[in-house]
Amino acid sequence: MEYQQYGKRNNKAAVWVIVVVALLIITNLITFLVCTRLPYFAAAAKPGSGGGETTTTDPKVEKLLFLIGELRENYYFELDEDYMWEEIYKGLLAGTGDRYAEYLTAEEYEEYSVTLEGSYSGIGIQMSNDDEGNVLIVGVFNGSPAYGAGLQVGDIIVRADEESLLGKGATYAVSFIRGPEGSTVTLEILRDGETFTVDIVRDRIELVYVESRMLTDDIGYIYISEFETNTYEQFAQAVTELEAMGMKALVLDIRKNPGGLVSEAVQIADDLLPRCQVIYTVNARGERSSYDSDEYVRTDIPVTLLVDDYSASSSEILTVALKDNGRVTVIGITTYGKGIVQVLMPLSDGSMYKYTFAEYFGPNGTKIHEAGVEPDIIVELPEEYRNLDIHLVPFEYDYQLQKAIEYLEEEIGQ
């Protein structure tokens, strides 16, 4: 019995020796294959470099570097690495699922920056993105080539020449729609479920964001089409000129205004408000920042504010700041509902990226994003005029503007 037990122990030991030896052979084979066929686990090259080690231990990054190494070594056609990397950066920002996040190459960013300089050569439209991420026309400049070609607010730009713009950011689309003065761009437009093409000759577009006039002997009117670098200055000048003409009340119109620079909207709110909170933001870490006005008030006359469902972003910031502080009466329909802010970060190579980093709230905690700002007085335009440029709506059908005038006449005792 004792001998049999001893023999069994010997047999078991022999089996374990065989198992251990087999494992060592398999382990060495795997190590050999990993080091020779999967270089990203060993000494993968850094992007854009000719070799060297990477210190990353993130398997996702190592996988990316491995794929790049494979393409460098084995791709049959000529590999344009600069283009490949630009597309990787674009995909990274697009992968957030945030339709406002994007990466622009140096060339695309240069084209985009022209918008902020006061003039450019193009067709004269304002663009944003719709809920599906497509390029949406949200403004058509009066007298522009786009205006003459019959483009309308609400149109989707499907294609510019040979470049498909479906699912592309509005900023990306800029470089394909703008071009030398006198040149032609062919746009494919989607409107009411049908597509058509239109050829538009580009022209010099002078960017005037503020228009003003007297509506009656006592009521002034200011239309703001967008908030850009000189919008506040144009607004302040318009108020001064209208008051010199006897303005006692003001209709401030930001219908079809897609937004722009928050700082410009905040400065305009500051001019209409006493010392108070204008707006506040909350970032991803829950940190809160406040924008406050000073005691200076440019004018304290009664103001009505006209908005619609294309009034977005900075337009909504201005709206909620003035409404929550009881400064204006808001007339129209509920605004677009974009209450988030993007940080725009230029990079050293001239490229740029942006992404959403905070959400805005009104002084009373009013939520803007995906909710919009509801007017004090709801008035709709006739359906046939709803998507038209504001300048194309005849006064007799502009029920929102008529209501604003009626309200202000009661305020000033007329």
User: pLDDT tens across 284-336, in order?
Assistant: 999 999 999 999 999 999 999 999 999 999 999 999 999 999 999 999 999 99
Q: Is pLDDT at 127 greater than 90 in this prediction?
A: no
Average pLDDT over residues 12-23: 49
Taking only the tens place, the pLDDT of each residue in 266-286 is 999 999 999 999 999 999 999
Active-site residue, 338 included: yes
Catalytic residue selected from 253, 270, 309, 324 = 324
Which residue out of 311, 313, 315, 351 is catalytically annotated? 313
pLDDT over 90, % of the chain: 67
Lowest mean pLDDT among 31-35, 161-165, 273-277: 31-35
* pLDDT, position 68: 92
- Does 47 score more than 70 pLDDT? no
Task: Return the pLDDT at 118.
Answer: 62
pLDDT tier at 45 (50, 70, 90 boundaries)?
A: very low
Domain boundaries, the chain: 121-205, 208-411
Rounded CA-CA distance 188/158 in Å is 5
Residue range 386-408: mean pLDDT, rounded = 93
Per-residue confidence band for 119, with pLDDT thresholds at 50, 70 and 90: confident
pLDDT at 18: 53
Candidate list 90, 168, 256, 338, residue with the active-site label = 338
Average pLDDT value for the chain: 86
Confidence of residue 17 (pLDDT cuts 50, 70, 90): very low
Q: 208-411: which CATH architecture?
A: Alpha-Beta Complex (3.90)
The per-residue pLDDT for range 82-117, each reduced to its tens digit, is 999 999 999 999 999 998 899 999 888 887 776 666
Residue 36 pLDDT: 41
Q: What is the pLDDT of residue 229?
A: 84
For range 188-214, the mean pLDDT: 93
pLDDT band with cut points at 50, 70 and 90 for residue 4: very low
Specify the pLDDT at position 5. Answer: 34
CATH number, domain 121-205: 2.30.42.10
pLDDT at 37: 42
Is residue 59 over pLDDT 80?
Answer: yes
The reply to whether 313 belongs to the active site is: yes
Query: Does pLDDT of 193 surpass 80?
Result: yes
* Contact in structure between 298 and 267 (CB atoms under 8 Å): no
pLDDT for residue 31? 45
**Does the structure show a pLDDT above 50 at 48?**
no
Is the per-residue pLDDT at 35 higher than 70? no
* Residues above pLDDT 70, as percent of the chain: 85
Would the pLDDT of 21 be above 60? Answer: no
**pLDDT level of residue 400 (50, 70, 90 thresholds):** very high
Note if 90 is an active site residue: no
